[in-house]
Amino acid sequence: MNRIPVILDCDTGVDDAIAIMLINKLPQFNLLALTSVAGNVELEKTTNNALRVLELIKSDIPVYRGAAKPIFREHVKAVYIHGENGLGGIELPQTSHVVPGITAWDYIYQEALKWQGELEIIAIGPLTNLGLAFIKYKQLPELIKRIVIMGGSASIGNVTPAAEFNIYVDPEAADIVFRSGVPVYMCGLDITMKAYLTAEEISQVGALGTKPAKFFQEVAQGPLNFSLRIGLAGMSLHDPAAVLYASDPSIFETHQVGMRVETKGPLSIGRTVTDLYSDTQWQNNGFIITDVDRKAFYQKVIALMSQY
């Protein structure tokens, strides 16, 4: 099998940590590195969390530090979901990993040059690193095969009525990515809210008994309890949904669309605007994922966690 070279760009909080554990076991991918960005919590915490998760799963891939704040805006966090440390208060052991000196956006360009059009990016946090990379390196779009993101929505928002968190944090960077010319596959709230695990299913993962499986169960408890309090059936695995879509779209529903990001207007900043439900057809610049076979999704999650 020719494995796909991929970089995972993340703001490591709870579901990012789960996504890292899952992608580590996907045979389709040659995971080159993680790149960190400020999002769920501050950059130093997202970077350190990524390093600690890699230590937990005994992976030696590098982590490259990215942007500490959005391109034009102040940083907005999500500690009400992920806790002050980003991992729901769970303290993983310290790590011996060392962060290389090159920035995330420079590293992305370096690898894109190396792979000459074969590199894929899975971005599960705010898109600041990619936005900066496209600003700095004008030839970068022709060197990336595709970008799969967790972010946005063709319908609802979760940080405002109009906007999903990852896009809201840095809407200008997101719009740069959407307009880059690289095909963007958007795993937004339309799909990730359907990619949930129930309390019983999370317990079944924990019952596998390994350290990563037990961590999965423990770190999921805060978001799970929040979800149950607001009437949801379980914890939505937002970031893992993007990772699993990138590896195998067969259990998902995908539509080709035109899409942009609203960067102005106090009630609509961060809204991802698509032509999915309109009669007017824009020039297609990407794809939106709208549905998933939830049972098959859960089976993929537990199958991958069973490999630890």
Residue numbers annotated as active site: 238
Q: What is the bridge-based pairing of β-strands 286-292 and 252-257?
A: antiparallel
Amino acid identity, position 219: V
Helix (H, G, I), strand (E, B) or coil at 272: strand
Residue 91 has what DSSP assignment?
Answer: -
**Rounded to whole angstroms, how far apart are CA atoms 274 and 172?**
16
**Rounded to whole angstroms, how far apart are CA atoms 51 and 44?**
11
Token pair, residue 141, equals: 């779009």
**Rounded to whole angstroms, how far apart are CA atoms 186 and 277?**
15
Biggest alpha carbon–alpha carbon distance for the chain: 55
- Helices 238-247 & 14-23, crossing angle to 10 degrees? 20
Residue entry with tokens 């966090």? 77
Which one, of 284, 285, 263, lies nearest residue 272 by Cα? 263
Token pair, residue 266, equals: 């106090």
Token pair, residue 152, equals: 């946005």
> What Rg do the C-alpha atoms of the chain give, in angstroms?
18
